[in-house]
Each structure stands twice: as structure tokens, then as C-alpha cells.
Structure 1
Amino acid sequence: MKSKILDLIDFDKVNTLLEGFNKSTGFVTAILDLEGNVLSKSGWRQICTQFHRVNTETSHRCTISDTVLAGKMKKGDDYHFYKCLNGMVDVAVPIIIKGEHIANLFSGQFFLEKPDITFFIKQAEKYNFNKEEYLKALNTVPIISEDRVKVIMSFLLNMTNLISEITFQKHELMELNDALRSNQERYRLLLENSMDAILLTSTEGTILSANKAACDMFQRTEEEICKLGRNGVVKLDDPRLAVFIEERKRYGKAQGELLMIRKDKTVFPVELSSSLFMDQDGIIRTSMIIRDITERKRVEEQLIEAKEKAEEANKLKTEFLNNMSHEIRTPMNGIIGFSEMLDLPDLSSDKRSYFAKIIKNSSLQLLRIIDDIIDISILETKKEKLNETEFCLNDFLMEQFSIFNLKSKERNIPFYIKKAFHDNQSYIISDKTKLAKILGNLLDNAIKYTSSGYIEFGYYQEEKNLVIYVKDTGIGIAPKNHRIIFERFSQGDKDISRKYGGLGLGLSISKENAQILGGNITLKSEKGTGSTFFVSLPYKPGKTNKANVSVSSTNELPKTKPVILLAEDEEINYLYIEALFEDKKYRDFKLVHVKNGKEAVDYCLNSDDVKLVLMDIKMPVMNGHEATRLIKSKLPDLPIIAQTAYSAESDKEEALQNGCDNFISKPINKEKLFGLIKEYTKVG
């Protein structure tokens, strides 16, 4: 049976497949039968073809090595490594068809580690090889890790299994067709017991009979199949159908793949073998043997997908390494270059201080890169542990605010913070270090990718989860990239990545840390409209919390309370005044925060409960003077107190001329502020 099955293998197609595999991977291959005869091969290493296989003694060593390696296949291993007597490493995969070992697929002439040059020099001298040419040929032999070899060999193993399956199917189909042509009675027996669907048709295409497997395949009775004919089972718009019919007419038989249809309208791929034969009455009939290859196609697609994923992963890692080289060299150039300039004799103290600042910033940039690489390496091991402690979330957010507020000011971007709980109710249990890494990466990105508008971060409670968010008005992210930006070494837009830099690790680190905390990260973003990242974590309130009292992001109290509107673009100033209103005397007020003059005008003109406005003068979009004039034109009796960092008499006069009722200078004095509030609202 071995020789018969080997005869069925189309070695021309196998050669083409192996040659393509050689060109794409660099692996040389050969198929040998169990007696050592070469049935197919693709590529040989120069060191073997021009040296080892030429010399009588080294050629004999090759034969011994092939025989030993082939013998090891009898032990039932999927593949086996062997170092040949000439110093090369070979690996073999058995070709097994229906449990019978009929041949071996060899790949080889590579090294698993750097070769011992001394061994090959001695070998060249011993067998009178041209030493220079021999060592030159040796240098072309690749060094490949055992893990990569195993991946390649796993692919080859799947390929040999596929060759085996196709060959066996071909063998079965040929035997079945022979039986059908030779004996009608035997045909009927096979018809009823075959695992494959079998149809008997006239030369005109009328279906005369269908076996049980065909009925099961098409979800119809034999009568239905015969009545509907080809129209009921074949997808007629399959372009391969006309080619198949023409081949059968010309040669009396045909074999190929087509699409067919079940009763429930599902379309599925089949392998179809059809041939003409003469029945016992001397009438020419057509037999069609049909095998559902849905599973085989799925495996083939998986192999292709796995190969594409491996290639993409390799490409991403290559891009990452190139990018990392660039990202490391950039701060290193700053550190080394400006360190050398510090030694210039005529350097002024201002420039020396400026250069020292550049060196410090470059060092911090380099440190962040190193931290990211260490973080991703630790996460790769899956051994990162959770270290939960109790801490005040409001204090934690203020720490982050103080760090990143300086960075946002350098870019002239307003930076806001929103809290959902009072300080004495904001204690939570979580891993503070991991939370800092998550929030740090998100805020870093927000500042990096935002050139105008604002950045806001904060938190709120959503059922049993605590949601921390970072919102920006930056460049945004296209929906198609929402998934890949969280993958390691990936960045959503290559052009933007080149412009802004970065390793493409920050969001991956953030997501994996969020998952360790028992949560996840999602985002809402469109290109050009900014982004909002949401970190959803299990809410674990701390034992230190005083009362279960929550407030909205604008500290809203019941709507029946009178409103004091605070128009203030600086978050620190807002937080200070918010803290002042914790005084029991002023909890009867509802403090509402807006960030510019336009928002102040809109709120006042659309609300009936504003009792007093604290108006900052210098604000974006619309300043306090213009906002006051607009409000007073519609609501002349609404008290407006100007607040500004400028305390000159002329500033106070300008505020009063534009409609303000009074004036308070920054830093704001608590007693004076509440004195004015009492004067104008008659409360307190």
C-alpha cells in the first residue's frame, strides 16, 4: 500500500509548495521514503552540495545521519532533532497516512547556537576542502532558535497532515470510482454505506439517486434531491462549476472544489469527484462523490491567519525595536550633548541653568522609557501581584493634579479635576501604585496629544464600580484603531506616532494593570474630536469613610437651594473656594462651577435660582468684564462680585464700570468673601 499511496502524491505540486516555503522562510526541505530515496526536495545548503555531499567520506556521514534520523521517527515523535556527523542540525517530521508511516519530511542544515569554528576548520583540513570557500559557505548556514524551529516544524507537521489527508481522500475516491465502474452491485453497497455523499446522475444532469450521506448533507430526502435536481444542491453562480462540467465532458472525469447549498440555505465547500461509467444496461451514467470540507477549510484559514499573525507580530516587534532605539537615542543625545557644553569656559550662568534643565528633562524622559520596558517585562511574566491598601482617592487625584498641572501649563492647556465624593467619604481600597501608572499614562497621553481646548479628569460611581476618566480635546482616535492601541508595540496612526514619538507601550501597560485590579479600560473617541478614557474598577470603599454622602462633579445639592455661580478657569482656585463652602453656615447654598464667561452668561440667562455670581476677570473664550455686561443687560439686579489677581485701584474701577457690584482680590480672604456673600444674599 505504501508504494501505491506514494504514487498518488502529486510531487510536482509538493515541490512547488516546498520551494515557496523555502523562499519565504529560508528552511530547506526534502521528502524521503523509508528506504532513504529522495522523493522531493527544495534547496540545499551550499556547504552540503559543494562539500559534504561531494566528498566520499563526508557524504557517507550524511547518509548515516539521514538513516539515524529516519530511524528515530519510528518511536512515534511528531518531530526529532539530530546533529549530523558533519556538524549540522537536522529535524524530521513523519508523513503518516491513516496511521501508516510512509515517508519522512526533512528540514535542516542549520544551527541552534553559534557553531564551533575550530571543528569546521579541522574538518576542512582533514578532507582537503578549500578552507576559505568552506568557511564562507559555513557563514551562510543560519542560526535559528529551537523555539522558532518548533513553530516552523509545527507548521510543517500540519502541512504533512494536510498532504496525508488529501492523498488518502484521493486514494479513497479513486478506489471508489474503480469499484463503481466495475460492479453495479458493489457500487450500491458502497453507496449506502459510504461516509461521503454520492449522487448518480444521467449525462444530462438529472439526479437519479442519492445515498443516505447525501440526504444528511443536504438535509433533504432522496425524493426531494432527485426532484429538485442540480438546482437544489449546487450553488449555480460558483464560477468553478462551468470549468468542472467542461473537464468532465472532455476527459470523462473531473475533480475539484465547489460550493453547495443545504435545505436551510447555508452554503458550504465540498470536494467533488465525478466520472462517467456504463451501468449494467449499457447506459452512460455519472457518479459524483461529494465530501464536505468545511472543517478542512477552517483549519487552512487558521494556518494562514496564524502565519499572518506571526508575521505581523514580528513586524510590530521590529518596528518597536527601531522605535525604541530612536526614543532612547533622543534623550541620550540631550544628556551627552548638553553635558559636554556645560564645560564651555564662557558659558553664562543662565545658559548653564538652562542646559542643566534640559539634561534633567532628558534623564526623566529616558527613565520613563526604561520604566515602561521594565513594566512590560514584568507583566509578560504574569507574576505581577496585587498590593491593596486603603487611601484617600481625593488626595491621590490631587497628587496627580499637582504633577500634571505643571505640564499642562507649559502647553497653555487648562487642566480640570472633578470629584464625586467629599474627602471624608473618598477612601477606597486598591493598589495605589498600579492606579498611579494607569492614570499617569492616560494623563501623559492627554497632554501630549492636546494642543488646544482643555483636559479634565476625575471619577464617579456607577453601580458597583468606580469609574476614573481622563477627557481631552486633542487629536482623537479613529474607531477602527480603538482596539489595536491597547496591544503591545502598537500605535493607532503611524504618521502621528512618528510626529509625537513614544514606544506604544503606555496603553498596553495601563490596560493590563487595570485587569490586575479587576477592571478594564474603554474609550470614546473620534478622530479630530478628542478622547475620553474610562477606567472601570470594582468599588471597594475604605473603613475610614465617615458617611456615605456623594456629590456630583459640580457639588450639586438639592435644586431648591439658592445658587452661587463661580466663574473660574483655574482648577486650584475652584477647589479652594469649594473647600470654603464646606463650612456649615454655607451648606444652604448650591455652588455651581463654570469655566469661562460664556458658560457663566448661558447659566445665568437660563436659570432662575442664581443669587450671586463670583466672576473671575481673566478667563478663556469670554472674559469676566464682557460676561458681566451681558448678564447685567438682562439681569440688572443679580449681584456680581469680581475676583482677580490684580489689586490695583484701576482694576477695581474697571470691574465696577463694567457692572460688577463689588470686588475681591486673590488670594481670597475667607472672612471678606463670606462677608460679601452675606451682604448681597442676606444669608449667613
Structure 2
Amino acid sequence: MEIEMLFSTFMLEISKARTEKEVYTALLKTIKNVIKYNRAFVIKDSNVILSDPLEARIDLSSYADYLEWLKERLLPAFVPEDENKVIGFIPLVKQDKLLGIAVVETNQEPTFEVSNTLQTFAFLTGITVENLVLLEQVQDSEKYIKEILNSLSDGVFVVDKGVIEFKNKKALELLEKYNGLDEIIIEIAQIGEKTGILTKEIGNEYFAIIKNTIDYLGSEKQIINVSNVTSQMELEKLKQLDRMKTEFVANVSHELRTPLAAIKAYTETLLNMEVDPESNKEFLGTIMEQSEKLEMLLNDLLDFTLVESGTMELEFSEFEICKLVDSVVKKLIKLSEKLGVKVLVNCDSFEVKADKKRIFQVIYNLLDNAIKFSDKQKDERIAKIAVKKSEDDLVIIVEDNGIGISPEDKEKIFEKFYRGDRSLTYEASGTGLGLTIAREIIRLHGGTIEVESQKGEGSKFIVRIPQRA
């Protein structure tokens, strides 16, 4: 067979080989076409890994020293055994590294040109075998890494150019369970920041999503780690709720103690001392005022139990809204004067159909907060209330230029027991239930409440309640 044809055939066969044995089989087949051996085999690490014919063996014990020399020489060598038998040793080499040796038994020593040809085939064999070994190592490493990734309890996504190109086992489970998660992952991957962490609520559960960007072979890839932190979030919420309950009990105790102490003191004075009619009236007025505070506190607690149990009910009636607003302002006039807050009213007079007592409660709570959380550092302190009709909605706007609400607190002010920044609100009385109850009242009316605020500049609460026919 022509040498060019041998090379072409050999290259074709080793290119299709998937195992070392297939490569060595192609080599022995090619060697046989070159020198017509009687028997041959391939040894690697002193083990025979392929023979032709299958039972072919040559006693190499007498060649031990020769083989050691061959490892240093790394070139084909042929040793005559007798006049009709020659043992050939063809080292399989890559970059001065001996990978194995092809041993053949032939009838005569080949020429120098044939020996060089065999060396070339051996060299190509060495390259192919080494590449197969490296490929197997890469595949094993890939399998190992995948097994590690698939054992993780977190979902791992790899995104390249807006396409998810890898998902571990947990990621596949998450995609199957939560519709739209793939869109969220791609959206996060395309955000400008290369790294980041955020918490996102998906399907009533909370997930911590961590993004890292890597450069892989000149291409930016985003590694997105998705971890279910619902249990941690719930635990933290429980801890926070426990802290808030403790503060709530302390607040209620304080709120109860203050009016009770005043009532007790003035009552003891009236019982044990002779007082003039004017002082008597003043003392009774104070007792009445403190009793009303107690009543409001207890009403808040009772309303809160109704909110928690979902049993609060409304009693609808028709009433003139501005008269209701005036009664709220009159109720808070002493507090506004005490704190130096000017109350401004802008009310469009019209009839509304709602629960009068509960709407009074909402307006009172919002205006009370606007007055209590005024900014003592400002020369002019203002609390505004505006009431108007917008299409079929009753719109109530309570605005102030007080201490304002931070972005963090703005998300939490409607939560039960929450009282915001204690360093700013410690002087303001209250249980932290007012806005919780107000929101529930508004919800039962089918309405909404929104808040706009900036810390240090003031707050605006906007209530919309649809009107019934």
C-alpha cells in the first residue's frame, strides 16, 4: 500500500477512535501493512493492553535493560533474535514522554526509511492517546463538577447573552415549580451591575438571589445563585414580631400608666381636700380628658383584636363629611396648641355613605399623627387636611411638614406594633396600632391608602374610598 494511502487511512481511523484500544488497534493494523509482523502487542506501564493475535506474547525479561535504554532514547529499535526473527520496539511518545511501547516480531530488520515511517505513526498515536486521556480527564472533571452542582440545595444558573445555558438539578426543580422564574433570572443577569445580591418574593416564598459575572474565554457569563430563604425570613420576622410585641407591651403599659396616674392623683385631691369650684371643674375636666385617653387606648386594643380575627364589621350611613372633619379637628385642638402645630382645613362639603364612626377613626388617626410627629426644629409646624370628591371617590389627604418617614420605615408603618425610628418618636404617645386599624377600615370600605414622604421634610397620606349609591 502506498505510504500516502497508509497515512490517510491511519489518520481517518484514529480520528474516529474514542478509546485508547481503538487507537492502538489502528496502529498495529498500519504497522502490519508496513513491515508484515508475525505477532505484536502494546505494553503500557508494564501491562499488555492489546495483542495481535490475541494470545500473542513475547518474553521481554531478557530485554529489561534494553527497554530502560529505550525509554531514554525514545526512538524505534530492532533487535535480531536469529537469522529469521527480529524483535522491534516502537516507543509511543509525546513531548519526550513515553506513553507506551509497541512490540513486534518480524522476519527481517526494516530499513531506515521504514523505521522513520513507523516512528511517525507512533508519534501520531502518542498525540492521539494523550488527547484522549486529556479529553477523558476533562469529561471526568465536567461530570465531577456537575455532580457537585447537582448536589447543592441552591439553584445555579449560567446566563450568556440573555440565554440560560446551564441549570443544575435544583435550578430545574425551581423552574418547574415557579412560573416566570426564568424571566426573572434573565432580567437580573442583564442588570448593569456585575455582582449583587437581592431578596425576591416568588410564589409566596422568599429567595436570596446572588449574581456574579465571570469572563470565560472572552465572553461574559453571569452566574446566578438562587437560595430559598423563606424559613430564615420567617424566623427573622418572628424575632422582629417578638421584639415589637415587647415594645408594644411597654408602650401600652406606659400609655395606661400615665392617664391612670393623673386620674388617681386628681381623684385623691378631690376626695381629701377642699377645692374651690373653679379648681374642682378643672380637676374634673382633666379626669374626663384622661378617661377619654384610656377609652381610646382600649378601643384601639379591641379594634386590633377585630382586625386580627377578621371580624370587624361596618355600619353604613349617610353623613356630611366636613362636619365630621370639624369634629376631628376640635377633638385635637388642645394637642395641636400644645405642640404649636397649625391645623389647616380645606373641605368640599358633600354627603358620603360610609361607616361614620370608622371614618372618624381614620381621619383622627392620620391627623393625630401629623400633629404628634411635628418637627420641633422648624419655626412653622403645619398639619393640613383636605377632603374632596374625585369622580365617585371620597379623597382624604392629610399632609404635614414634620419629621417624615424613611424609605425603610415607609414599607413597614402599616404593620402591627411598628413605631418607626424610636430616636424621633419616643416622645409621641401611641401603641403602634393606629395605622394598622386605619388600613383595615379603608380596606373594608373597598378603598386604598398611600403614603408619600421624605425624611426631615414631612409626609402625605392619601385615602381613596369609593362611594356607594
TM range (shorter): 0.5 to 0.7
Distance 2:326 2:417 in 1: 31
Point out where structure 2 has 5 or more consecutive residues left out of the alignment: 1-131, 178-206, 208-225
Match of 2:411 among 480, 483, 501: 483
Tell me if the contact between 2:446 and 2:466 (Cα under 8 Å) persists in the aligned partners. yes
Match of 1:427 among 344, 348, 351: 351
SS in 2 for 1:356: helix
Tell me if the contact between 1:428 and 1:539 (Cα under 8 Å) persists in the aligned partners. yes
Tell me if the contact between 2:451 and 2:461 (Cα under 8 Å) persists in the aligned partners. yes
Partner of 1:317: 245
Are residue 306 (structure 1) and residue 234 (structure 2) matched?
yes
Are residue 459 (structure 1) and residue 350 (structure 2) matched?
no
SS in 1 for 2:303: helix
Partner of 2:365: 441
> Residues 207 and 260 from structure 1, CA distance in 2 versus in 1: closer, same or farther, beyond 3 angstroms?
farther
Share of identical aligned residues, percent? 27
Match of 1:206 among 98, 114, 138: 138
Partner of 2:91: none
Q: How many residue pairs end up in the alignment? A: 284
Distance 1:291 1:471 in 2: 48
Give TM-score scaled by structure 1 length: 0.37
Amino acid at match of 1:318: T
Instruction: Summarize deviations over 1:538-586 as a string: whole Å, max 9, x none.
Output: 1346xxxxxxxxxxxxxxxxxxxxxxxxxxxxxxxxxxxxxxxxxxxxx
Partner of 1:529: 457
Q: Give the stretch that moved more between structures: 398-407 or 477-486.
A: 398-407
Where is the strand percentage greater, Structure 1 or Structure 2?
2
SS in 1 for 2:304: helix
Distance 2:153 2:273 in 1: 82
Distance 2:339 2:317 in 1: 35
Distance 2:171 2:258 in 1: 61
Partner of 2:257: 329
> Residues 325 and 291 from structure 1, CA distance in 2 versus in 1: closer, same or farther, beyond 3 angstroms?
closer
Give TM-score scaled by structure 2 length: 0.53
Q: CA deviation at 1:510?
A: 0.6
Distance 1:395 1:322 in 2: 36
Are residue 394 (structure 1) and residue 322 (structure 2) matched?
yes
Instruction: Summarize deviations over 1:201-251 as a string: whole Å, max 9, x none.
Output: 9578534899xxx9xxxxxxxxxxxxxxx9xx99xxxxxx9xx89xxxxxx
Distance 2:171 2:133 in 1: 17
Tell me if the contact between 2:395 and 2:464 (Cα under 8 Å) persists in the aligned partners. yes
Q: CA deviation at 1:528?
A: 1.6
Partner of 1:106: none
SS in 2 for 1:454: strand
Match of 1:361 among 286, 289, 309: 289
Q: CA deviation at 1:366?
A: 1.1
Q: CA deviation at 1:262?
A: 4.7
Instruction: Summarize deviations over 1:579-603 as a string: whole Å, max 9, x none.
Output: xxxxxxxxxxxxxxxxxxxxxxxxx
Tell me if the contact between 2:373 and 2:425 (Cα under 8 Å) persists in the aligned partners. no
> Residues 491 and 299 from structure 1, CA distance in 2 versus in 1: closer, same or farther, beyond 3 angstroms?
same
Distance 1:481 1:513 in 2: 21
Distance 1:204 1:511 in 2: 65
Q: Provide the alpha-carbon RMSD of the alignment.
A: 3.7
Match of 2:436 among 508, 511, 516: 508
Tell me if the contact between 1:270 and 1:294 (Cα under 8 Å) persists in the aligned partners. no
> Residues 448 and 201 from structure 1, CA distance in 2 versus in 1: closer, same or farther, beyond 3 angstroms?
farther
Amino acid at match of 1:428: V
Higher normalized contact order (CA 8 Å, seq sep 6+, divided by chain length): 2
Amino acid at match of 2:321: L
- Structure with higher Rg: it is 2
Amino acid at match of 2:404: G
Point out where structure 1 has 5 or more consecutive residues left out of the alignment: 1-199, 215-229, 235-240, 246-253, 272-289, 542-684
Partner of 1:248: none
Tell me if the contact between 1:397 and 1:458 (Cα under 8 Å) persists in the aligned partners. no
Partner of 2:423: 495
> Residues 463 and 332 from structure 1, CA distance in 2 versus in 1: closer, same or farther, beyond 3 angstroms?
same
